[in-house]
Amino acid sequence: MSPTVAGSSSNAGALLELRDVHKAFGHVEVIKGVTVAVRKGEHVVIFGPSGGGKSTLLRMMNLLEEPDEGTLTFEGKQYFPHTENVLNRHLALQKLRSQIGMVFQRFNLYPHLDALHNVTLALTDVKKMGWKAARKKAEASLVEVGLKDRMDHYPAQLSGGQQQRVAIARALAMDPKLMLFDEPTSALDPELIGEVLGVMERLAREGMTMVVVTHEMGFARKVGDSLLFVSGGVIAESGGREVLSDPREPRTKAFLEAVL
Amino acid sequence: MSWNPTNYEFAWNVVWQYREWLVAGTLLTLKIAAVSMALAMILALPLALARMSRFMPLSLVTQFYVAVMRAIPLLVFILWAYYGLTLISGIQFDPFGAGVFCLTAQYSAWLSEIYRAGLQAIDKGQREAALSTGLSRSRAFARVIWPQAWRIIIPPLASNFIGIIKDSSLVGIIGLNELMRQAQIADSLSFRPFELFTAAMVIYIALALVISPLASLVERRAARSLSVQTRRATRHQRSLGAAA
């Protein structure tokens, strides 16, 4: 069963759905009508050429980027277009984002806080946990990404791979229902990519729902249930792993030949 | 006594003679500088945020304010506020009030530009990361953006504090007995300008020399203790929550 049913209305069971979204920056239309549904437990991999709209599409899923047109629903509730007045709109946005973890290409750790405090910040300030509970929860997350002995290190004292794992722990500690990864290994030295992908693979095995924008085709093949080839602002091709082994679209074929 | 630079007889004892005036003047200088600086530091934040606002009219009004403040000579401003503004507004300024008003108005404009530079130096990914975890925009600012910008802002704040101390010497023109005016009065009584103004200068230099290392100390402490501060803020917040 295809997880992306363009133009259909049979995505009722989806955890998150973007429907017919459009987005332009100035006069450049970067997303030209895309419909994506992510089901619970699913691992969606988005790949394609630079400037094709992959990141913009991902950033729409937690509304860091608001579509110009189209809808976003999460767990059956519509978050875009906004249904609330301006005051409650921000509360709704915060609620949506607190349930969706995001990992960025350039880590975006808070440089003024050590690893532990990077993770506890949202726990205390969003989940309103007390310090002891937040600390315990953050430590568990950092242990999970293999950074038990780096908790009191500041981002500047950590390698790129370690920083990205702290970023994953920061998202994970919030018990997200969905994790978004925006080219999580693109800024890493080659020898550090493995440790981050390893953590992501384990998360996938444990049943985390995730959407990953990546150029790591090995990872896509291993983990992806649903693969979306995004190019020119549209989903040019989608399907299961056969998209990688036996692409139908010439554009997909050309791209895969170039990166593999 | 005829003026002859070659055999001028120094009389440093006048400095000692007027020491209490000079000390009182120094304290008043520090007071007006500190009060004006504190108010300017507070006012500069909303100004900086307004300047950075995407709401154009707000940003333009702030830009205009900064441009005007940059254009007015402080001496003119002080005379205008003390003698002129009082007439048309009915606000009765005393010299201290007029001085604080002018110094605050001007320095809040400079400081808002410094704040803006500090805030804009923070990568926008920081805000995105904070928002992506569900933090509100104000929380993201208070917990992520501001603590980082603050470290960038501290060093220029120190040099502006030195600047405000020096500029406060102009408030003497409307009769505030700060250091400069005390030296002037002492001179008019003793006819010892070299000794008295040298003393005033040395005091200004000493104040600046004390402030610079103090500022670097604050800067280092700010860098070191941010994690601790965050933890304390969390605890504090929690105790507030428990009390509510």
- Highest mean pLDDT range out of A47-56, B30-39, B83-92? B30-39
Contact check, Cβ <8 Å, A114/B227: yes
Residue B226: per-residue pLDDT: 54
Contact check, Cβ <8 Å, B132/A117: no
Contact check, Cβ <8 Å, A98/B151: no
Interface test with B, best of A64, A97, A112, A157 (most B CBs within 10 A): A112
Say whether the ipTM exceeds 0.85: yes
B138/chain A closest Cα distance in angstroms = 11
Nearest to B131 among A64, A95, A134 (CB): A64
- B216 falls in which pLDDT band (50, 70, 90)? confident
Nearest to B238 among A95, A106, A131 (CB): A131
pLDDT of B86 higher than 90:
no
List, edge to edge, every strand of the sheet that includes A43-47: A100-103, A178-182, A210-213, A43-47, A226-231, A234-239
- B233 falls in which pLDDT band (50, 70, 90)? low
Residue B178: strand, helix, or coil: coil
Find the mean pLDDT for residues B25-40.
97
Residue A16: strand, helix, or coil: strand
Nearest to A170 among B133, B230, B231 (CB): B133
Residues A13, A14, A19, A25, Cα dihedral to 10°: 170
- A1 falls in which pLDDT band (50, 70, 90)? very low
Find the mean pLDDT for residues B18-33.
96
Task: Specify the DSSP class assigned to residue B168.
Answer: G
Contact check, Cβ <8 Å, A109/B234: no
Task: Specify the DSSP class assigned to residue B147.
Answer: H
Residue with tokens 């973890």: A101
pLDDT of A247 higher than 80:
yes
Contacts of B139 (CB under 8 A, 6+ apart): A125, A126, B130
Q: Is B151 on the interface with A (CB under 8 A)?
A: yes
pTM of the model: 0.84
CB pairs under 8 A between A and B: 88
Tokens of A248: 């139908």
Contact present, B105 and B36 (Cβ < 8 Å): no
Contact check, Cβ <8 Å, A171/B135: no
Q: Is B174 on the interface with A (CB under 8 A)?
A: no
Contact check, Cβ <8 Å, A98/B136: no
The amino acid at B167: D
Contact present, A92 and A62 (Cβ < 8 Å): no
pLDDT in tens, A120-170: 999 999 999 999 999 999 999 999 999 999 999 999 999 999 999 999 999
H-type helices in chain B, by residue range? 13-17, 19-52, 56-71, 74-79, 86-89, 95-120, 124-132, 137-140, 146-167, 179-190, 193-224, 226-243
Contact check, Cβ <8 Å, B133/A121: yes
Contact present, B169 and B160 (Cβ < 8 Å): no
Tokens of B177: 């007995």
- Phi, psi dihedrals of residue A45, rounded to the nearest 5°: -115, 125
Q: Is B129 on the interface with A (CB under 8 A)?
A: yes
- B178 falls in which pLDDT band (50, 70, 90)? very high
d(CA A137, CA A130): 11
A171/chain B closest Cα distance in angstroms = 7
